[in-house]
């Protein structure tokens, strides 16, 4: 039997008591103040009140009266955790017991009812469950017209032996959001999915072991899928992002293992983000709409991969962000534009990289229409005896409008680099220099960390060396300790 802890929570009593006070306060009839207004409310209204509580608190309201005993079973949003379901029983838990309890308490009472399940969030360290029983459970969720489903099987306790077959998605035709954690994802060869049944728009995998053909199975049968996020998952060496009439617009892969190459057949893909400890290859032959790319190989030279792979496959990309351990030495000899349509470029260096800032200047000139440029120099060391000098083929950059340099320590090379950018950008509108570092973490989030402020002498030197050096009359120079971490780029 499921244990939900002590009697009804204070939050539940407070919500109900507050309602009675509000009704009484607006009543001119003194006799009405003695009435039990709550008992006069319809079940639908009471359920809507209970629905504002956490599931564990909603269940506790069942002790209030005989009428309240079953109301919690019809709340639209259900959130259940192992530590609340079975207390003080340790993990792992009996999977059949958990599934049966959820089925009996929340699913069966809704049969033939207008009260549907809007969302279910189940976090439980389950033992291996009979595949047929689990499929029946998923089918029941589908009959309840579920829209959002989050299943975390807590692989820490069950060694990740819980499996989810992609064909189960066809049992939930109203599902729009799926969050799957700590399990195996596989394709059941004996089952056929109904392609037109899925309304899924967002899928998130975390700690999922994606077996051969499973990802293709999902993509081929979720025809309205727009966003796919995968964190700390395991994959086969070769991954294929493809499906008939695939509508996928955003793909984020972070901290996943086993990937050697990703081949894309996604004609509607707009954004691709990939973070990994190791390098991977990408085949971008069928992504004509891809506009924004974020790459971060912690243990590799991302820039070399960008210029050897990305620039050839995606010459028309508009926004590029990457973290790297080094520069691409071939940049300095360029005689043509590698990214002819790039509007935004952000560069973050790892692990105290020794670089020549002349190559960064060259990088800017591989992007003739670049408008926004960000460089984080927190971990940069500079080549001894080398100052930034004007390149023979680079005279003026007419597109650059916004420049941000973060992690700026106030060294001679950094100041010289900033002064050079001011002197080559004829349409520059703003240059912002900050002591704190800033880099892109993924999923639209910029982060950084605290740094000791510049000394008074260093700050005065930066101002003295840079003030009045811009050739653009409308350029504004901003020198501040902390940068803005919110999204500040123009939408591409």
| CB-based burial, 196-217: b 16+ in 10 Å, e otherwise | ebbbbbbbbbbbbbbbeebbbb
pLDDT of 190 above 80: no
pLDDT band, residue 385 (cuts 50/70/90)? very low
pLDDT of 33 above 60: no
Digit-coded pLDDT (tens) for 447-464: 999 999 999 999 999 999
Q: Single out the residue of 337, 342, 306 nearest to residue 322, CA to CA.
A: 306
Is 180 inside a domain boundary? no
What mean pLDDT comes out for the span 24-40? 53
pLDDT of amino acid 309: 72
Is 456 inside a domain boundary? yes
Whole-prediction pTM: 0.82
Is 399 inside a domain boundary? yes
Mark which of 52, 75, 98 sits at the end of a domain. 75
Digit-coded pLDDT (tens) for 213-246: 999 999 988 989 999 999 999 999 999 999 888 9
pLDDT of amino acid 466: 97
pLDDT of amino acid 8: 43
DSSP string, 419-485: HHHHHHBTT--EEEEESS--EEEETTEEE----PPPPHHHHHHHHHHHTT--SSTT-EEEEESS---
Is 416 inside a domain boundary? yes
For strands 344-349 and 319-324, give the pairing.
parallel
pLDDT of amino acid 485: 85
Is 412 inside a domain boundary? yes
CB 354 within 8 A of CB 327: no
Q: 444 or 177, which is more confident?
A: 177
Is 261 inside a domain boundary? no
Mark which of 75, 95, 120 sits at the end of a domain. 75
Cα–Cα distance between 440 and 260 in angstroms, integer?
A: 23
pLDDT of amino acid 337: 55
Is 470 inside a domain boundary? yes
Domain limits for position 61: 43-75
Q: What totals of helices (H) and strands (E) does the chain contain, helices first? A: 13, 25
Residue % of the chain over a pLDDT of 70: 71
Residue % of the chain over a pLDDT of 90: 42
Q: How many domains does the chain have?
A: 2
Is 190 inside a domain boundary? no
């Amino acid at each position: 039997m499921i244990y939900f802890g002590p009697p009804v929570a204070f939050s539940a009593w407070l919500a109900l008591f507050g309602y009675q006070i509000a009704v009484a306060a607006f009543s001119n009839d003194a006799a009405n103040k003695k009435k039990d207004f709550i008992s006069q409310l319809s079940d639908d209204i009471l359920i809507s009140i209970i629905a504002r509580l956490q599931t564990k608190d909603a269940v506790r309201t069942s002790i209030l009266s005989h009428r309240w005993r079953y109301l919690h079973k019809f709340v639209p949003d259900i959130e259940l955790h192992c530590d609340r379901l079975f207390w003080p029983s340790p993990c792992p838990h009996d999977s059949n017991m958990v599934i049966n309890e959820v089925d009996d308490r929340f699913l069966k009472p809704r049969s033939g009812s207008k009260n549907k399940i809007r969302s279910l969030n189940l976090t439980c360290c389950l033992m291996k469950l009979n595949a047929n029983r689990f499929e029946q459970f998923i089918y029941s969720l589908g009959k309840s017209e579920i829209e959002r489903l989050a299943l975390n099987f807590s692989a820490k306790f069950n060694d990740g032996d819980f499996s989810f077959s992609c064909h189960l998605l066809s049992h939930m035709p109203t599902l729009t959001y799926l969050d799957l954690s700590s399990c195996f994802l596989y394709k059941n060869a004996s089952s056929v999915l109904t392609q037109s049944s899925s309304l899924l728009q967002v899928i998130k995998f975390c700690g999922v072991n994606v077996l051969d053909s499973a990802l293709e199975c999902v993509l081929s049968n979720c025809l309205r899928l727009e966003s796919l996020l995968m964190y700390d998952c395991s994959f086969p060496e070769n991954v294929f992002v493809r499906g008939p009439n695939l509508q996928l617009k955003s793909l984020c892969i972070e901290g996943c293992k086993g990937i050697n190459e990703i081949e894309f057949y996604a004609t509607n893909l707009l954004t691709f983000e990939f973070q990994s400890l190791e390098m991977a290859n990408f085949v971008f032959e069928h992504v004509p709409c891809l506009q924004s790319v974020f790459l971060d190989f912690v243990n590799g030279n991302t820039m070399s991969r960008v210029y050897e792979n990305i620039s050839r496959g995606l010459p028309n990309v508009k926004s590029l962000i990457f973290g790297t351990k080094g520069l691409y030495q071939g940049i300095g000899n360029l005689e043509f534009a590698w990214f002819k349509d790039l509007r935004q470029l952000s560069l973050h260096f790892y692990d105290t990289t020794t670089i020549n800032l002349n190559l960064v200047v060259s990088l800017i000139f591989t992007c003739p229409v670049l408008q926004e440029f960000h460089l984080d120099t927190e971990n940069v060391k500079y080549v001894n005896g080398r100052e930034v000098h004007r390149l023979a083929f680079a005279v003026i950059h007419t597109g650059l409008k916004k420049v941000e340099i973060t992690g700026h320590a106030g060294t001679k090379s950094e100041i010289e680099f900033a002064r050079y950018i001011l002197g080559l950008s004829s349409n520059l509108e703003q240059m912002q220099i900050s002591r704190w570092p800033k880099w892109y973490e993924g999923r639209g989030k910029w982060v950084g960390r605290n740094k000791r402020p510049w000394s008074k002498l260093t700050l005065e030197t930066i101002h003295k060396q840079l003030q009045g050096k811009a050739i653009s009359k409308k350029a504004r120079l901003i020198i501040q300790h902390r940068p803005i971490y919110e999204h500040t780029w123009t939408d591409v």
